[in-house]
Amino acid sequence: MSEDFITFDKNDSLCIIYVTGEVDLSNSSEVRKTILGALKTTPEVVVNLSQVAYIDSSGIAAMVEGLQFANSNGKTFKLSQPSQQVSSILELARLDQVFTIE
C-alpha cells in the first residue's frame, strides 16, 4: 500500500482530505487520525472520496466518528464526490441521509 493514499489541502477555515484507493481495516485508523486531526484545527473538513475504489465498515466507522466529533464540537464535516462504490454503501446503510454529501 502506498503511503500517500491520503493527501490534503488546508487553509485556516477549510481542510479537504483526498483519499485514494481502498479504505479497509489495514488503513482506516490512519484515515480516522487524519480526519480527527483536521477537525481539531479547522472549522470545516471535507473528505473527497472520488478516488476510493473500496471502503469497508471500518472506513465507514472512521467517517461516522469524524461526523460525531464535528457535531459535538461545533465543526462542519462533509463528504464529497463519493465514488459509485462508496455511494452504494452509503445508500445501503442509509448514511446518505446522515452525512452532508457534496
What integer pLDDT is reported at residue 65 of this predicted model?
Answer: 98
Per-domain residue ranges for the chain?
6-101
Residue-wise pLDDT tens digits, 69-82:
999 999 999 999 99
Q: Give the DSSP letter string of 11-51.
A: -SSEEEEEEEEEESTTTHHHHHHHHHHHHHH-SEEEEEEEE
- Give per-residue pLDDT as tens, 20-62: 999 999 999 999 999 999 999 999 999 999 999 999 999 999 9
Superfamily the domain 6-101 falls into: STAS domain (3.30.750.24)
* Pairing state between β 44-55 and 100-101: unpaired
